Chain A
Amino acid sequence: MDIDARGLACPQPVLMTKQAVDKDRPSRLTVQVDNEASVENVSRFLGTRGYETTSTGQGDLFTISARYALKTQEEPGSTATAESAPADPVTDSREKSQKILVLIATDRMGFGDDDLGQKLMISFINTLGEMGNDLWRLVLVNNGVKLTIADSPVLETLRAYEKQNISIWVCGTCLSHFDLLNEKQVGETTNMLDIVTAMQLATKVITL
């Protein structure tokens, strides 16, 4: 389902999305808006209704892609809702597989030789994709956020993962600590509450 809410002022984009969700409970939907405020508002609203969202775009065209996350904890007792959502092959296969969250708190792997550690990290990130559908979310904190800036050797890999719907979350406090808020080239900025919630939702958490 596609909603075009461009040219509409707050709160219209949220209301259009609300109507569509209340009426049809689509398993997937995209919403087009023309400003960042609407991106945040619509994404937040969809989050309260159990959707996972990603957004892309700039200038006056932004697209929010939402997918109903069946196992949401936001709406307890909403099994009827979940069942009424049409079956979606991609969602289903993702649901059957694991949800692995990889927490990366450093830009090098292990202690000892720093050059070696850096090479290992590059190799680790590049190889992570072998987990396939099980790889659910990469969370980058502390020195790990430096993997998302322009001269990062794994930037392209991370971008490719993001295209495959693996969410890349980057700690906002860490970016601001290193003064890198404007340098981040991939992933979405996150906070500790979201990280902790994601750890709880994950079937497996790997910490590096």
Chain B
Amino acid sequence: MGTADDAGVYKISDDLALIQTVDFFTPIVDDPYDFGRIAAANALSDVYAMGGIPKTALNLVAFPLGSMDMGVLKKILAGGIRILEESGTVLLGGHSVEDDELKYGLSVTGFVHPDRILTNQGLKPGDRLILTKPLGTGVMNTAVKAGLASRDQIQEITELMATLNRDAAKIMTRFPISACTDVTGFGLLGHLAEMVAGTRNGVRIFSDQVPLISGALAFAEMGLVPGGAFRNRQFRGGMVSVGDRIRPALRDLLFDPQTSGGLLMGCPENRVHDLMSALHDQGVSSTAVIGEVSDNHPGKIGVV
């Protein structure tokens, strides 16, 4: 498949296709068990975003054997397995190398019906855009590094990043979703840009409807915006017009790179109400309708 999705799809038969994806990174939280959980939720997310169900996984580990206690690695792997179990995915094995810098992630394989694959292409005029997790993990992680985040805030973002997109995906597959992606390194607007670039559609984002992690806006106002958010803005800024009254800090949060972010999907307007009810009933509580698709400004994103 030719789109810029993070996972690859291979059709095996008329009713089965494989989704394969891999993702790994350096620690973003201090606790090794939590890091394992977050890395696993993040790796599994690509499968969910394409409408699939994860089935098997392989661990990828880079570990500084000389300078770090093996107990740390055990905790990381235990965290990963915890999330794999939650998702119903079987760990088949893995591979590790010695490295100066610790890294962990997984390669994940999932199943999907070839006719039910969701990609980041296919938005239609009139669709509403739905986001299932609040934004701001990049800014919050910067605040954590700066030693300015409270214990409660750290706890909150850790749980948020370790939360699987499984429940949101399960609901999503029951609705006529036109396109879907998970919000990760490019930030909300960066991933949206991929959804509309080169298409006949543009989108309008209602900035006051976008769910934000509590405290993230204040930290962004303070200047704790990660470099990735600026790079995302430089890269896609040309496609985006931001309303005059939007504060720069809010704009930066819309470009903030997310770790294990939520699903971003397009849904026909007449089904949005039912979709939102179903997501809330399933406990995907931060879900919000954040924008709409139209053919007025093809390939453009307007933030109002």
Contact = CB atoms under 8 A, between A and B. Distances in A.
A37 B227 contact: yes
Interface residues of A, number: 22
Interface in B139-176: 142-143, 145-146
Interface in B221-252: 221-227, 229-231, 241, 244-249
A36 B145 CA distance: 20
Given A11-B142, A11-B146, A42 B247 contact: no
B244 A44 contact: no
A37 B222 contact: no
A38 B223 CA distance: 8
A173 to B, nearest CB: 6
A48 B230 contact: no
A182 to B, nearest CB: 10
Contacts, number: 60
A195 B210 CA distance: 25
A172 B224 CA distance: 23
Given A44-B249, A176-B241, A9 B227 contact: yes
Interface string B236-277: 000001001111110000000000000000000000000000
Nearest to B144: A11
A87 interface: no
A14 B224 CA distance: 7
A15 interface: yes
Contact of A45 (B223, B231, B244, B248): B223
B211 to A, nearest CB: 23
Contacts of B146: 11, 14-15
B244 A37 contact: no
Interface residues of B, number: 21
Nearest to A171: B244
A40 interface: yes
A41 B225 contact: yes
B220 to A, nearest CB: 8
A45 B224 CA distance: 8
Contact of A11 (B224, B231, B247): B224
Which secondary structure dominates chain A's binding surface? helix
Interface in A24-63: 35-38, 40-45, 48
Contact of A48 (B143, B221, B231, B241): B221
A91 interface: no
Given A37-B225, A37-B227, A37-B230, A11 B244 contact: no
Given A44-B221, A44-B222, A48-B221, A10 B227 contact: yes
Contacts of A10: 142, 224-227
B231 to A, nearest CB: 8
A37 to B, nearest CB: 4
A40 B221 contact: no
A36 B223 CA distance: 12
Given A44-B221, A44-B223, 18 more contacts: A10-B224, A11-B142, A11-B146, A14-B146, A14-B223, A14-B224, A35-B230, A37-B229, A38-B227, A40-B225, A41-B223, A41-B224, A45-B222, A172-B244, A173-B241, A191-B244, A193-B245, A193-B247
Interface of A: 9-11, 14-15, 35-38, 40-45, 48, 172-173, 176, 191-193
Interface of B: 142-143, 145-146, 221-227, 229-231, 241, 244-249
10 contacts: A10-B227, A11-B142, A11-B223, A37-B231, A42-B223, A48-B221, A173-B241, A191-B246, A192-B244, A193-B247
- What 7 pairs across the A-B complex have the smallest Cβ distances? A45-B223, A192-B244, A41-B223, A37-B230, A11-B146, A44-B223, A14-B223
